[in-house]
Structure 1
Amino acid sequence: MSAGPSGGQPRGGSTSAERFFDAAIGLLRRVRDEDAEEIAAAGTLIADTVAAGGRLFAFGAGHSSLAAQDLVYRAGGLALMNLLAVPGVVGVDVMPTTLGSALERVGGLASAVLDTSPLRSGDLLVIISLSGRNELPVEMAMTARARGIKVIGVTSVAYAAETKSRHASGTYLKDHCDLVLDSKIAVGDAELTLDTIPAPFAPASTVVTTALLQAVMATAAGVLAERGIEPPLLRSGNVDGGHEWNARVLTEYADRIFYRQA
């Protein structure tokens, strides 16, 4: 039995489940310690956008969309975060599922999406792409910044050193952001290996990226509170008074919330 890319040497008799938890915890500690400055800056940038009346959006393709969706309309989260959905690439519900991967490599798609979205100068867009190498996230970041939209990129910087960009410019998502958050995920997104299994397995990118972004959102809420601004947070609808609280927040910030509009 051998260790995975980030999991260290396995303990004697440890199970694959234990090794995965060890690898994920190790990555979370690395992100907490090594990305602390960037997390603080990203949270502050989001707070600045909220305070200035801007709107917040998040985008990710394929499984990267899971981390984007985790920010939208959820208990304990900022009510102002909207999902920037690109038809066919949001998740694995499209048929055939492989179409989503193909659409990530289509030039011009990002510009068309931004043309028809509510995003405008002064807003902020979180773009999540593990590899950061495909046409869609690179074009999305380039186009958004050209339109005066702040961009926070969430990616694994390692891909830029070990893979080839699929964008005509030869650049990656990390090259077109106001701030970059590095998830530290190894190329291939699989933390474990076994001599009896021919391919690496057990991806951790969703766990790490989701935690990283929630740390940023927590920072943003704290910064707003420090400035005397009540963070526009949602409460669970499954606690007494939750629906009433949320109705107030959703009404107060209706002009910056787009997931309620038909």
Structure 2
Amino acid sequence: MWLINTKTLRLEEFQDYSTVEYAILSHTWGDDEVSFKDMQDFARAKRQAGFVKIATTCELALKEGLEYAWVDTCCIDKTSSAELSEAINAMFVWYQASAACFVWLEDLAPLSSTSSATSQGRKLCDMSKLASCKWFSRGWTLQELLAPANVRFYDANWNFRFTKENYVSTLSTITKIEVEVLKMAKRLKDVLVAVKMSWAANRETTRPEDEAYCLLGIFDINMPMLYAIRVFWSNQSPGDRPEKA
């Protein structure tokens, strides 16, 4: 597992990540993200737009006393099919094992200066604005909400807004996931398959295959990644394709 040193912002590899406390980022991908390859040329990586979220994640982690952080854009060598497969199968566990998960809602506007002066009013936000955030419509972010215990939400300007714990009722209303599950008082294995599938029903992924892969951890399934299989069979004649079950 590759982790970012929050002081140097350089990647370090760990064979046993259970010995390390780390923060983890949950976000939606944008343009000019920093890849694993980009991080090998640090000067170049720092010039990319996506580096800001990496640096900010590390800054937040340092404030939490954490020496390492994990960001999916740059901590997986996606040129290695073996490493990519391992990462996708381990993703739920990695989020679950994190000391803190920072959710960056890049399309959640910061509170204006005229907002309520109370602590509660400054941090919370209108449910309709929150529900419209792209983060709630993506497939991969479902497990990123469910797996970690310590989840902290930030707006577009990286202002802290609330935690999963203190906003659990609203998050339940938006996601249709029962409060007991979000509080981890009810185990995922005790939730009906149909119910878990319903949580993902209106979520989208960039690749069709990811509609299945993003649910592996939620269903406690491990399987090899076969991103090319759909393209392969689409190029075969009908008689060569496998029959549908």
The bucket for the TM-score relative to the shorter chain is under 0.3
TM-score w.r.t. the length of structure 1 is 0.24
Greater relative contact order, per chain length (Cα 8 Å cut-off, separation 6+): 1
TM-score by length of structure 2 reads 0.26
